[in-house]
Structure 1
Amino acid sequence: MLFACMLVAAAISSCTKNFEKYNTNPSGITDEELAVDFKSIGAFFASMQNPYSSAIPLEVGDLGMGGTWGGYFMNIYPGPESVNYFLFGGQYSLFNEGYGNIMAPVNEIKRRGARESAPDFWAVALTLKAHNMQRVTDIYGPITYSEYGKGGVSAAYDSQEKIYDTFFAELDTAVTNFKTYIAEHPGATPFKLFDKTYGGDYTKWLKFANSTRLRIALQIV
């Protein structure tokens, strides 16, 4: 019996010995290499700049859902689903886009320490987060926002009032970060490699953050 236990213990220890060494791709990119030019956090911005420019979210969110429910359009498709309110499986696509392409990358950027190590990148993340998630909450109402990314099998839904207050707080942080970086590093464009919109020009991102803040404010006037 003792011999059997020793054999099992030896087998278990042998399975984990040099585990990292044998399970690391020698040709892969290291964390040190990813840290160069902010690639370790910049790589997560690609999906954040795409979600609402693709055909499905635009068609479903702006036309199929917003336009039909708002009375601007009427669906003439005589299918098995509602011909009056265009209810179909795609009605959840903006919800999925918001969490898959916005909230998840922002959470990872935060986890990697961008708030402290790259406040200018964090400002871009907060701006895109507020800009895109406003559409999600305006369509679906209360959503998980402040509790997102904290772990567990469930997360509480925030009221729209709380979500909007958080939008303004996040955009205040973004605007402050942009202004500080522009003042301390005039003309610098560290985000250019990952920027699909403004070529890394933070003066334009600052305007966009302020425009987003104004657009959100108009919803509660």
Structure 2
Amino acid sequence: MARKTFFSFHYQEDVWRVFNVRNCLVVSNDQAADGFFDGSVFEASQKEGDEALKTFLRNGLKNTSVTCVLAGQYTAARRWVRYEIVRSVLKGNGLLTVDIHDLKNNAKELGVKGQDPLAEVGVYLSSGKIYFAEFKDGKWVKYSDYAAAIPASDLWFDAPTSDNKVVKLSEHCVRYDFVAQNGRENIAGWIETAAGLAGH
């Protein structure tokens, strides 16, 4: 049975590119067709309000062990992508970024490479407690969609030790380029590497 993976992405901008990635996983010879779980909310649940959407996303992450952030030009700043990343850390999922800007959208257009979403979310130590931070308006601020302290034991990577110094999640995760690094053949291996880094 293939590893169940949650895909986090910017639906309106990149859904066509995402389907290209997911299709190659499903038809890959060494992966079961039902082994990859597409956990994107497609942002439809937003109509029900923030709490309903958060519940939907948490449920989407159930039974997954890796979260693969499929990054386009605008993905890093998306509120719900950041929430999926934070909940993935809390769940203990392995994390990786795969840049998909060089795949064509439905208009046959290539995208522009964006920031690594895992470099825009981090953790920091304050008064002996660990919290999430996000990069917003040019500076690091406390992450507002999950403000509680995080037990160090919940992290699969080393907890921060310097007060108020943000450690980006990207420092513990690998970033790939789907086109330049032949993701069609290699993404299943990248997912396994992320799982291994998180101890799965």
TM-score normalised by length of structure 2? 0.28
Larger relative contact order (C-alpha < 8 A, sep ≥ 6)? Answer: 2
Give 1 or 2: higher helix fraction: 1
Which structure: larger Rg? 1
Give 1 or 2: higher strand fraction: 2
TM-score normalised by length of structure 1? 0.26
